[in-house]
Amino acid sequence: MTRIFVTVGAQMPFDRLVHAVDAWAYTRGRSADVLAQIGPSVAPPSHVKHVRFLEPAEFDRAYDEADLVVAHAGTGSILAALERGKAIVVMPRRAALRETRNDHQVATAKAFAAIGSVPVAWDETELAEVLDRATISRGEAVVGRYASPRLIGAIKSFVESP
Amino acid sequence: MILAALRRARSLARGSTRPRRILAISSGGGHWIELLRLRPAFEGHEVVWCTVDATYRTHVGDAPFHTVRDVTRWDRVGLAQCATEVLGVLGRVRPDVVVSTGALPGFFGIVLGKSLGARTVWLDSLANVEELSMSGQRVAPFADLWLTQWASLARTAGPRYEGSVIA
């Protein structure tokens, strides 16, 4: 069984993503594989197991146990997957659909897609296709736990400057 | 006084630096995750953390930890409350340095911290790929070290690019 963890963060609902995964899982007979963190959802999903919010320790466990993460294109969600070497698929929120206040997630998704290792579904239809093709975790961290040595050095020397 | 001066001279001679008190402040979600990724830069110093979600305390172990209310820029009453709470934290902590990855609580931390005499670092979030955040633009006059995480957004007059929270 491939365990799939869906996460949309805590701030705003993103039911378009939740329902797309719900429908995909149902039609593929995979509903039992999915745990969805749905935030302040307006209409919770019908088929997959879901919770609105998770505390940090529960988030850690959900990420650790997942073989595949499906997330909004938030940097926190993406970094949590990459630093654990978890396969992740993202779908950005859209300002035009009032899923967020501006299209920064579209830009974030583009940027991570360009780096590689983060497949992007630009809409719900594409999400089903991406999920059908998605590979599971390699188990190797794609990014380290801390910022780049250059950034650490720049901030450290600023902190320690007289 | 003399002893302190001697101690300082000795530590300078050894090349070590006096520990600084750092206030690391951000809102939740990605802003907070990015802030935590800066931890090695704070080693050897006293770090006080401030964010908007009490459950995040588990991320920082026994370190001092404060929360303030979260806010969006459309919530005027909330803005005033958030700023007041940040000012309260600054008053209690008296940091030498304030470091923030945004958003509004961090913006207040930098602006108010600077006016109270702290040195300040603004690291605009990784999420701001195509343009700096609104807070990131407005914080410029108050940020001694003003950074973007995207080389394409760096300008001669600032912000500077010095790498990102990804390694």
The per-residue pLDDT for range B9-44, each reduced to its tens digit, is 655 555 567 999 999 999 999 999 999 999 999 999
Q: Cβ of A147 and B37 within 8 Å?
A: yes
Domain chopping of chain B, boundaries: 19-161
Q: What pLDDT, on the 0 to 100 scale, is given for residue A114?
A: 86
A159–B42 CB contact, under 8 Å: yes
pLDDT score of B8 more than 80: no
A93 φ/ψ angles, rounded to the nearest 5 degrees:
-70, 155
> What pLDDT, on a 0 to 100 scale, did the predictor assign at position A142?
84
Q: What is the pLDDT of residues B124-160, one digit of tens each?
A: 999 999 999 999 999 999 999 999 999 999 999 999 9
Residue of A nearest to B33 (CA): A76
Contact list, A92 vs chain B (CB under 8 Å)? none
Q: Which amino acid is at B70?
A: D
What ranges do the domains of chain A cover?
A: 4-160
pLDDT, tens digit, for every residue of B85-136? 999 999 999 999 999 999 999 999 999 999 999 999 999 999 999 999 999 9
pLDDT at residue A136 in the model: 79
Task: Output the pLDDT for position A58.
Answer: 96
Contacts of A147 in chain B (CB under 8 A): 37-38, 40-41, 163-167
Select the residue from A155, A156, A161 to test the B interface by mutation, using most B Cβ atoms within 10 A.
A155
- The pTM (predicted TM-score) of the whole model is 0.92
Q: Is the dihedral of CA A79, A83, A84, A90 positive or negative?
A: positive
Average pLDDT, chain B: 93
Angle between helices A75-82 and A104-115 (to 10 degrees): 20
Q: What is the pLDDT of residue B88?
A: 98
- CA B156: distance to chain centroid? 23
Is CATH 3.40.50.2000 what the domain over B19-161 is classified as, yes or no? yes
Task: Quote the minimal CA–CA distance from B49 to chain A in Å.
Answer: 16
Two tokens, residue B95: 């940091």
| B61 in A contact zone (CB under 8 Å) | no
Interchain CB contact of A92 with B (< 8 Å): no
What pLDDT score was predicted for residue B74?
86
Mean pLDDT of chain A: 94
Q: Which of B28, B37, B165 sits opposite A10 (nearest CB)?
A: B28
Q: Nearest residue on chain A to B150, judged by CA atoms?
A: A111
- State how far the Cα of B78 lies from the Cα of A127, in Å rounded to an integer: 37
Q: What is the 3-state secondary structure (H, E, C) of A85-102?
A: CCEEEEECCCHHHCCCCC
Q: Taking chain B, what is the end-to-end CA distance rounded to the nearest angstrom?
A: 44
CB within 8 A of B80, min separation 6: which ones?
Answer: none
Q: Which CA distances in Å does B79 have to A32, A158, B75, B128?
A: 43, 29, 6, 22
Angle among Cα B53, B57, B58 to the nearest 5 degrees reads: 125
Question: What dotted CATH number matches A4-160?
Answer: 3.40.50.2000
